[in-house]
């Protein structure tokens, strides 16, 4: 069964559209507690005039928000709209694919008599105001401590005990949440950025802070497969492709230079030519000039030298110990 053309166009557009993630830092706050919302924008395309908007309900009090001073933020503003507080960040046009922006909003849950939901919505729009992506975060606010069920029923209506247990629960709840979600911290796709170097140190990945965030995560995600094939031609090619996002090839030199004659037949272990030496190989890497400039600055000669040194360090670690290599780096426009 074929899909309508409109559906195909919508799916294709969504695939290349910006990605927005909006989550709350706490899943079960109590009145008076701080509640933080985290918003992350992952740029997937060139789109001028972007803006990110986060709405907050009247049931929370705004304490602070960031970024207010950021090179990617042109301006920001706050307005009240339909019993909601709306924060808007207007972004600069100089955003490229792979850039990630993080926004943090700190609030405090207002006093309430009944349990209720706190709902916050984040939206990213283009210059024409068209919605590119959105996500809603919902948090359940409880006015009674869940620890009350462990007390005899006679104490269930005691307001003082309820508030006292709410205090202890608010202290222990973040620790319990971290323990329940400990697996997230070792998942390369979900762990916070500051944990990426820590994971890399476990699995022998050559770490480079100049790499874009999505490339760092891709390297860590592929670490097991790369490690299992470590020392092979294909593993080294895959590693360098992930690192450079360029074209990579490896030429192996299997035998000593040889002159073909009557007493010297050509065989599998014999190579003709002038640059063939046992246990050697040549690494050919082609990268875009924009990749070099974005990673290492505007000085082409110095940037190329630094980039070559990093590639040589990676090959030295990933290659078989008894081999030697020659690196050819080609920069293309």
User: How big is the chain by its Cα radius of gyration, in Å?
Assistant: 28
Report the alpha-carbon distance of residue 8 to residue 291 in Å, rounded. 32
Distant-in-sequence, close-in-space partners of 30: CB < 8 Å, separation ≥ 6:
109, 141, 142, 143, 145, 166, 169, 170
Q: What is the mean pLDDT of the chain?
A: 82
Whether 89 has a pLDDT exceeding 90, the answer reads yes
pLDDT in tens, 132-152: 999 999 998 888 888 888 899
Report the alpha-carbon distance of residue 172 to residue 146 in Å, rounded. 12
Q: DSSP labels for 100-129?
A: EEEEEEEEEEPP-SS-EEEEEEEEEE-TT-
pLDDT in tens, 190-246: 888 888 888 888 877 777 887 888 888 988 888 888 888 888 999 999 999 998 889
Structure token digits, residue 232? 């092979």
- In this structure, CATH architecture of domain 229-332: 2-Layer Sandwich (3.30)
Tracing tokens 């924008």 back to the chain, one arrives at: 41
pLDDT, mean of residues 256-277: 63
Q: What is the pLDDT of residue 283?
A: 93
Beta pairing partners, 20 = 41
Whether 178 has a pLDDT exceeding 80, the answer reads no
Report the alpha-carbon distance of residue 323 to residue 218 in Å, rounded. 27
pLDDT in tens, 19-70: 899 999 877 788 888 899 999 998 888 888 899 999 999 999 999 987 656 7
Distant-in-sequence, close-in-space partners of 12: CB < 8 Å, separation ≥ 6:
none
Report the alpha-carbon distance of residue 144 to residue 112 in Å, rounded. 11
Sequence spans of domains, the chain: 17-143, 229-332
Sheet holding 84-91, edge to edge: 73-81, 84-91, 51-57, 116-125, 131-141
| Domain 17-143, CATH | 2.60.40.1530
Residue 25 carries which DSSP code? S
Structure token digits, residue 148? 């009350």
User: In what helix (H) or strand (E) does residue 137 lie, and over which residues does it extend?
Assistant: strand 131-141
Strands 280-288 and 324-332: parallel
Of 5-9, 14-18, 183-187, give the lowest mean pLDDT range: 5-9
The values of phi and psi at residue 205, to 5°, are -85, 130
Count CB atoms within 10 A of the CB of residue 131.
12
Q: How far is CA 23 from the centre of its chain?
A: 15
User: In what helix (H) or strand (E) does residue 13 lie, and over which residues does it extend?
Assistant: helix 5-16
Beta pairing partners, 288 = 332
Q: Residue 45 in contact with residue 73, Cβ under 8 Å?
A: no
Structure token digits, residue 143? 């006015």
Band (pLDDT 50/70/90 cuts) for residue 114 is confident
User: In what helix (H) or strand (E) does residue 218 lie, and over which residues does it extend?
Assistant: helix 213-221
> For the chain, what percent of residues have pLDDT higher than 90?
26
Residue of 137, 179, 183 lying closest to 29 (CA atoms): 137
Report the alpha-carbon distance of residue 158 to residue 174 in Å, rounded. 25
Report the alpha-carbon distance of residue 257 to residue 1 in Å, rounded. 60
Residue of 21, 14, 17 lying closest to 40 (CA atoms): 21
């Amino acid at each position: 069964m074929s899909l309508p053309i409109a559906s195909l166009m919508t799916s294709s557009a969504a695939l290349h559209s910006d990605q927005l993630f909006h989550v709350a830092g706490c899943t079960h706050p109590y009145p008076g507690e701080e509640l933080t919302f985290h918003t992350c924008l992952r740029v997937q395309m060139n789109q001028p005039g972007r803006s990110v908007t986060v709405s907050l309900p009247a049931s929370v009090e705004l304490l602070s928000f960031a970024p207010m001073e950021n090179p990617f933020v042109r301006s920001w503003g706050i307005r009240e709209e339909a019993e909601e507080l709306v924060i808007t960040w207007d972004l600069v046009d100089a955003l490229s694919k792979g850039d990630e922006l993080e926004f943090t909003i700190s609030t405090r849950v207002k006093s309430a008599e009944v349990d209720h939901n706190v709902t916050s919505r984040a939206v990213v729009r283009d210059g024409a105001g068209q919605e590119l992506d959105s996500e809603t975060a919902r948090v359940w606010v409880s006015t009674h401590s869940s620890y009350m069920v462990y007390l005899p029923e006679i104490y269930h209506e005691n307001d003082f005990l309820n508030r006292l247990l709410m205090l202890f629960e608010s202290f222990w709840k973040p620790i319990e949440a971290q323990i329940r979600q400990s697996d997230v911290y070792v998942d390369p796709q979900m762990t916070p950025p500051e944990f990426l170097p820590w994971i890399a140190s476990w699995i022998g990945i050559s770490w480079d802070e100049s790499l874009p965030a999505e490339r760092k995560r891709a390297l860590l995600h592929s670490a097991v497969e790369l490690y299992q094939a470590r020392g092979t031609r294909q593993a080294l090619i895959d590693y360098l492709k992930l690192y450079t996002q360029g074209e990579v090839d490896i030429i192996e030199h299997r035998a000593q230079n040889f002159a073909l004659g009557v007493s010297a037949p050509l065989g599998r272990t014999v190579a003709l030519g002038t640059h063939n030496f046992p246990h050697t190989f040549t690494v050919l890497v082609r990268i875009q000039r924009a990749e070099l400039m974005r990673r290492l600055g505007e000085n082409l000669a110095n940037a190329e030298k630094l980039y070559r040194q990093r590639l040589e360090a990676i090959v030295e670690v990933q290659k078989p110990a008894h081999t030697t290599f020659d690196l050819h780096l080609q920069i293309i426009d």
